[in-house]
Amino acid sequence: MIDLLNIGLVALILGLAVWAIVAREDFAAVVGFIAYGLLLTLAWVQLHGIDVALTEAAIGGGLTGVLLIGAVGRLRGSAAAVKVERSSTPVRWLAAGVSATVSGALVICVLAFPDPAPTLAHHVADNIADTGVGNPITAVLLVFRSMDTLLEAIVLLFALLGVWSLAADQSWGGRPGPQPQSSDPNGILAYAARVLPPLGIIVGTYIFWIGADYPGGKFQGATILAAMWLLVMMAGLTDAPPISRTWLRVALVAGPLVFIAIGFAGVLTADAFLGYPHGLAKPLIVAIELALLPSLTLVLALLLLGAPQRGMRL
Amino acid sequence: MAEFLLMAAGFVLAMVALGLVRILRGPSTADSMMAVQLLGTGGIAALLLLGAATGEDAVVDVALTLALLAAFASFAFVKAASDTSGQDAAAERDA
Amino acid sequence: MSAVLDVLSLIAIAAGAFFFLAGTVGLLRFPDTLTRLHALTKADNLGLGLVVLGLLLQVDSVLAGFKLVCIWLLVLLSAASVSQVIARYVRSSEPSR
């Protein structure tokens, strides 16, 4: 029974992937991509990766979908230019060949895993009691491989800088996104943007908080909070902040700075960069997560808003 | 019980797939918007049923996240579509 | 007692699946965008509500049950708002009416 379900799921996923590529209408292709993300969430649940399913539902389904929708909206005005840019047929065949080769190599590698596959899970299970957290994913992310998480946070900041660098010279430092059209303050979107965000903030904070012992954590919580803030901006109830504001820039770097500071403190107290002294692991982890939550929320929301488009005066 | 829940999850998924086929073949943007709605509702139902069938309690949190993000994506979709149609109408008026 | 709960869950979830079927049939057969939107919003949300009801009888903690009810209320709220917005968009993009 469950095999039948899994086969059906895989067939749907592959079908939607093909659809997302060949669809003629841009909006239909984006919807295909969002559906693909949702089905991947189900696939992750079947593989018992609930943390990954949570992240896929939040980022893959929600945020990336909205990013693509925004891109389609911006491309609508220049449809003619997009058509001219298509690559020639030999290039496209070459791209197809390379993609197929990489996919084939991945399939062979996965099928060639020795059974049971090499894993460090028992090491994590042996040492997780010292960390004070119950969720092994959180333990790996913030204790055993915290260096990777630190570098991830910094990479996100660099990505944001990359997006900002697309701004025109006269817009640098201004507000991202186009001028909000005067939307009806009593309309449905405004109503939803008043009722949903408080609920979203509660849910986002809840998911952030339970990440210590159950699937969740700062990344998924930050995604929900960013989505709620973007909803309020979409309804026109608030405007995007200019990127030159000091509070914005301080809030963006505060998270990684706290992380780095705790890392260097670990050199003094625990003989290793990002080491935690005995008994202080849980409070330090909570401090890092609390510091990273607002930074991540800001980064994700600003990544979706895009490069500044309006000058500083507006 | 778990078998029945799995069957129900598969059934809901099949219904979502059928609905998607119809909607994504429809020509208008409104059909695409409805597809996001369908995915949200059906996906949450399938997710909850799958989670109950496999005994993972944390799937309810995934469904909660999906509910919020699907609503957000739907609103963003409609906003983007009505903004571009407004642009097209304005361009036609200007031309 | 648990057998009774199981039977009730079965009935509720089966009814929910039936409403999903009805919603999809409406999607496939109704002639107009607005009527399809109607079928989608009403039937699917009712189906989800019945599924949540069925699963509510199976949970073992108050928090999980509370979260299930929250999910349903959230989906109701967002579906009601989004369907209105979609309907207005469809109306505004039909110049002949």
pLDDT tens sequence across C5-37: 889 999 999 999 999 999 888 888 888 888 888
Q: In angstroms, rounded to a whole number, what is the distance separating the alpha carbons of residues C32 and C82? A: 18
Q: Is B8 on the interface with C (CB under 8 A)?
A: yes
Q: Which helix (H) or strand (E) holds A194?
A: helix A188-209
Chains that touch A (3 or more CB pairs under 8 A): B, C
> Which residue in chain A is spatially nearest to C67 when comparing CA positions?
A203
The answer to whether the beta carbons of residues A21 and A187 sit under 8 Å apart is: no
> What pLDDT does B90 receive?
59
Chain C residue at shortest CA distance from A187: C85
Q: Which helix (H) or strand (E) element contains residue B9?
A: helix B2-25
Residue A212 above 90 pLDDT? no
pTM: 0.90
Which residue type, as a one-letter code, is found at position A195? V
Crossing angle for the helix pair C2-29 and B2-25, nearest 10 degrees? 10
Handedness of CA A289, A70, B64, A43 (dihedral sign): negative
Token readout for A33 is 């991509």
Query: Which of C10, C33, C92 has its CB closest to that of B31?
Result: C33
- Answer for the pair B75, A189: CB distance below 8 angstroms, yes or no: yes
Query: How many angstroms separate the CA of residue A242 from the nearest CA in chain B?
Result: 21
Distances (CA, A) of A176 to A251, A254, A308, B72, C12: 17, 21, 4, 19, 48
Q: Which residue of A has its CA nearest to C87?
A: A188
pLDDT of residue A268: 86
Q: How many CB atoms lie within 10 A of CB B44?
A: 28
Token pair listed for A28: 């239909």
Residue A94: predicted pLDDT: 93
Residue of A nearest to B79 (CA): A234
Q: Report chain C residues whose CB lies below 8 A from the CB of A196.
A: 74, 77-78
Indicate whether B95 pLDDT > 70.
Answer: no
CB contact under 8 A, B4 and C10: yes
Q: Please give the mean pLDDT across all residues of chain A.
A: 86
Task: Tell whether the model's pLDDT for residue A193 goes beyond 80.
Answer: yes
**Lookup: tokens for B65:** 């996240």
In chain C, positions 38-97, which contact chain A (CB-CB < 8 Å)?
70, 74, 77-78, 81-82, 84-85, 88
Buried b (16+ CB within 10 A) or exposed e, B45-71: bbbbbbbbbbebbbbbbbbbbbbbbbb
Tokens 């379900």 locate to A5
Sign of CA dihedral B54, B56, B62, B63: positive
Tell me whether 0.85 is exceeded by the ipTM.
yes
CA distance A47 to B67: 21
Other beta carbons within 10 Å of A111 = 7
Q: What is the mean pLDDT of residues C53-61?
A: 88
pLDDT at position A313: 58
Which among A192, A223, A197 is positioned nearest to A62, based on CA atoms?
A223
Instruction: Give the closest residue to A72 by CA, choosing from B76, B67, B25.
Output: B76
d(CA B26, CA B17): 14
Using a CB–CB cutoff of 8 Å, tell me whether B47 touches chain C.
no
Encode pLDDT of A33-66 as tens digits: 888 888 999 999 998 889 999 999 999 878 999 9
pLDDT class for A225, splitting at 50, 70, 90? very high
**Residue A140 above 50 pLDDT?**
yes
Structure confidence at residue A182 (pLDDT): 64
In DSSP terms, A175 is beta-bridged to A310
Nearest by Cα to C36 from A54, A282, B37:
B37
Nearest-neighbour CA in chain A from B2: distance (Å): 10
List the single residue in A35, A41, A234 with the smallest CB-CB distance to B62: A41
Of B13, B51, B80, the CB nearest to A45: B51
Kindly indicate the confidence band of residue C97, based on its pLDDT and cuts at 50, 70 and 90.
very low
Q: How confident is the prediction for chain C on average, in pLDDT? A: 88
Q: How far is B76 from chain C (nearest CA, A)?
A: 10
Per this entry, what is the length of chain C? 97
> What's the mean pLDDT in C38-59?
91
CB contact under 8 A, B39 and A199: no
Q: What percent of chain C has pLDDT over 90?
A: 41
Specify burial of residue A311 (Cβ count, 10 A radius: 0-12, 13-18, 19+).
Answer: middle
Kindly state the percentage of chain A with pLDDT values over 90: 35
Per the CB < 8 A criterion, the answer to whether C5 and C57 are in contact is yes
Contact between chains at B56 and A32 (C-beta distance less than 8 A): no
Residues of B in contact with A62 (CB under 8 A): 68-70, 72-73
Q: Output the pLDDT for position C66.
A: 92
Give the residue with greater pLDDT, A284 vs B82: A284
Q: Which of the two residues, A173 and A91, has the higher pLDDT score?
A: A91
For B28-85, write each residue's pLDDT tens digit.
778 888 888 888 899 999 999 999 988 888 899 999 999 999 889 988 888 888 776 6
Q: ∠B50-B56-B58 over CA atoms, to 5°? A: 105
Q: What is the per-residue pLDDT for A259? A: 92
Indicate which of A181, A199, A205 best probes the interface with C, i.e. most C CBs within 10 Å of its own CB.
A199
